[in-house]
Amino acid sequence: MAVIRPSAKVQARAATGTLAVENVVKRFGEVTALGGVSLEIKAGEFFTLLGPSGCGKTTLLRIIAGFELPTAGCVRLGGEDITAVPANQRPVNTVFQSYALFPHLSVFENVAFGLRSRGFPQAEVQKRVETVMGMLQIERFMARYPHQLSGGQKQRVAMARALVNEPQVLLLDEPMSALDAKLRAEVQVGLRRLQRSLGTTFILVTHDQDEAMTVSDRIAVMREGQVIQVGTPEEVYARPRTCFVAEFLGAANLIPASRNGSGVKTALGHLELPAVPQWEEGNLAIRPERVEIVPEPRGSNCVQVQVREVVYRGSHQEAWLEPGGLRVRAAPYPPLRPGEEVVAHLPKDALVVLDD
């Protein structure tokens, strides 16, 4: 494939243009890593590729970055085809999972590396490095070396090194996976604030659904080289389309069902739905926090169940109910007791008809 340098038109339009992935296929020998993926990511959006290991999300990120060429399909930025533009000529930067900091360079020189390699004058290098380090609150570390930094500090240095080049698109390859849970939660919020303040397009790869829900404007859920569902965090969580999406994004009760008049027949009994499903047999989903424990039956979708197991989690309690293995997340008081008979209410608007 011929090497193409981005035109001035690409550079000018990239700032306001969308990033489009069009029917991208990637094969490694006989293995198909991506099977015709299409996505449109808006300028200034925080977009997340979410899925289990081996689903193709990192391969897609590498194609967007220019580290891999697709077997078929193309990548467009601002309407211009950049598929064959080399990685170092794209207005795109990547923060890697390992951070890839140079151990022999100070923090300042790590951040300045890209600018120096492109021949920027010293005064401009100084100004831009100090600006981005101040923005990420790492200016006090500028004389340190990577081995003298914590995990969170290294992550911010890697971010600074990418942002100092003023990319139109910033790619994040699981940059928080090495952090402990508390620090990861803090960095997620900080990353979201930073993206909003910059207005730069961020594309994150992660297998952590909590991370995706925290930072994203929209999420693409991937599986086996395909995009299964795209939507806002609320859409993919509250209205999953498949069993896989329902279970991958948090806990979900999957209820096998068969169409029965205006509702469905299940192991819990007859349930009313907002709309009649298109299938004869399929599955419903309901999140544990949407199942209500009520003092007595009230209207439709109330079922008599027995508490099988209870786990106290401080802010809430989780219980498993029979029949059906129904999982419920409720306030910690009054406590539920194993063996107790209770009434569970499954609100119609909380039941999601899945495609499979």
For 5, what's the count of Cα atoms within 13 Å in the CB-facing half-sphere?
A: 2
Question: Is the same domain home to 111 and 221?
Answer: yes
Compute CA 18 distance to the chain's CA centroid, rounded to the nearest angstrom: 19
What's 340's domain CATH number?
2.40.50.100
**Residue 245 forms part of a structural domain:** no
Predicted local confidence at residue 99, as pLDDT: 83
Which residues lie below 8 Å from residue 319, measured CB to CB, with a gap of 6+? 307, 308, 309, 310, 311, 327, 328, 330, 336
What's 181's domain CATH number?
3.40.50.300
- 3 pLDDT tier (thresholds 50, 70, 90): very low
Question: Is the same domain home to 97 and 223?
Answer: yes
Minimal CA–CA distance to 326: which of 249, 264, 277, 256? 256
Instruction: Give the pair of three-digit tokens for residue 141.
Output: 């570390």
In whole angstroms, give the CA distance from residue 89 to residue 75.
14
Among candidate residues 238, 269, 301, the one where a domain is terminated: 238
Walk across the sheet containing 352-353 and list its strands: 269-272, 263-266, 253-260, 281-286, 352-353
φ/ψ of 327, rounded to 5, equals -105, 135
Q: Is the pLDDT of residue 15 over 60?
A: no
Q: Is the pLDDT of residue 47 over 90?
A: yes
Domain with 107 in it: 8-238
Question: Is the same domain home to 88 and 218?
Answer: yes
Q: What is the CA radius of gyration of the chain?
A: 24
**Residue 290 forms part of a structural domain:** yes
CB-based contact 22:76 (threshold 8 Å)? yes
**Residue 1 forms part of a structural domain:** no
Kindly report, residue by residue over 71-86, the tens digit of the pLDDT.
Answer: 999 999 999 999 999 9
Question: Is the same domain home to 314 and 191?
Answer: no
SS3 118: coil
Name the most confidently modeled range: 8-17, 29-38, 124-133, 134-143: 29-38
Question: Is the same domain home to 148 and 44?
Answer: yes
**Residue 137 forms part of a structural domain:** yes
- 194 pLDDT tier (thresholds 50, 70, 90): confident
Minimal CA–CA distance to 152: which of 193, 195, 182? 182
Kindly report, residue by residue over 54-74, the tens digit of the pLDDT.
Answer: 999 999 999 999 999 999 999
Instruction: Give the pair of three-digit tokens for residue 135.
Output: 């923005």
Q: Is the pLDDT of residue 5 over 60?
A: no
**Residue 3 forms part of a structural domain:** no
> Percent of the chain, pLDDT > 70?
96
Question: Is the same domain home to 234 and 90?
Answer: yes
- Beta-sheet strands, E only, within the chain: 19-28, 31-41, 46-50, 72-77, 80-81, 92-95, 169-173, 201-206, 218-223, 226-231, 253-260, 263-266, 269-272, 281-286, 292-294, 302-312, 317-322, 326-330, 341-345, 352-353
Average pLDDT of span 158-180? 86
Among 95-99, 203-207, 227-231, whose mean pLDDT is lowest? Answer: 95-99
Kindly report, residue by residue over 278-305, the tens digit of the pLDDT.
Answer: 999 999 999 999 999 998 998 899 999 9
**Residue 121 forms part of a structural domain:** yes
Question: Is the same domain home to 231 and 349?
Answer: no
Whole-model pTM: value is 0.87
Domains of the chain: total = 2
CB-based contact 250:238 (threshold 8 Å)? no
Question: Is the same domain home to 141 and 182?
Answer: yes
On average, the pLDDT of the chain sits at: 90
